[in-house]
Amino acid sequence: MTHSLQDMRQQAAVAAKVFVQRDYTSGTMCQFQTKFPSELETKIDKQQFEETIRTLNNLYAEAEKLGSQSFIEGCLACLTAYTVFLCMETHYEKVLKKIAKYIQEQNDKIYAPRGLLLTDPIERGLRVIEITIYEDRSFTR
């Protein structure tokens, strides 16, 4: 967390929380709905929001992709009785790190200045993207 975000958390009070739910139309793959929540209408640009969600969706799709690389990794893991999972970082975990970095970057650049905070979905069991709306009090625009 950057210094400014910490300050904001300590000074500002939580006005509301918005939850972006999962989108199951393509199956059990991790995707989130791009529908723009009404509570955010006054806070952020619709395009900006959809861009963030779409990028996150692409990243999650990349994590779960069934490509040749994951196939080779899977076969190798099977041959070693899956003990490689104990020593190596899996492909999914690598992408999760990328996602965490992306979310922090988005928070710093776009959401924090508008009094919003995105919570990494992994902290909510990949069920929702929690967006906290802070009261418009203690920081200048």
Partner 1 sequence: MKSREYQQIDPQALPTPVRTPPHDHPQADGGDGRKEPRRTPRRKWEVFPGKNRFFCDGRIMMARQSGVFPLTLGLILVTSGLFFIFDCPFLVKHLTGCIPAIGGVLFVFVLVTLLQTSFTDPGILPRATPEEAADVERQIDDTGNTSYRPPPRTKEVLINQQVIKLKYCFTCKMFRPPRTSHCSLCDNCVERFDHHCPWVGNCVGKRNYRFFYTFIVSLSFLTAFIFGCVTTHLALRAQGGKGLVFALKESPGSAVELAICFFSVWSILGLSGFHTYLVASNLTTNEDIKGSWSGKSGEGVTNPYSHKNIFINCCSVLCAPMPPSLIDRRGLVPAEESAQTGGMDTERPKLNNKSEMNVVGGSLHLVFDVQESCSDFSLLLNHTKTVPLPARSLVACYSPNTVSVCFPVSECCVKVTPLCAVFQLLSKVCIDHAFYWVWLVESIKHSCLYVFIRHISWKGTVCLLIK
Q: Interface with partner 1 by CB under 8 A: which residues?
A: 17, 19, 22, 24-28, 63-66, 70-71, 73-75, 77-78, 81-83, 85, 90-93, 96, 122-128, 130
137 half-sphere exposure, CB direction, 13 A CA radius: 12
CB of 80 to partner 1, least distance (A): 9
Q: Which is nearer to partner 1, 34 or 90 (CB)?
A: 90
Q: Cα 19 to chain center, whole Å?
A: 12
Number of neighbours of residue 119 by Cβ within 10 angstroms? 16
CB of 141 to partner 1, least distance (A): 26
Dist CA 126 CA 100 (whole Å):
13
Dist CA 15 CA 39 (whole Å):
11
CB of 70 to partner 1, least distance (A): 5
Quote the tokens at residue 137.
Answer: 């009090």
Q: Which is nearer to partner 1, 3 or 123 (CB)?
A: 123
The conformation of residue 116, written as its DSSP 8-state character, comes to: E
Q: Which is nearer to partner 1, 38 or 47 (CB)?
A: 38
Q: Which is nearer to partner 1, 92 or 137 (CB)?
A: 92
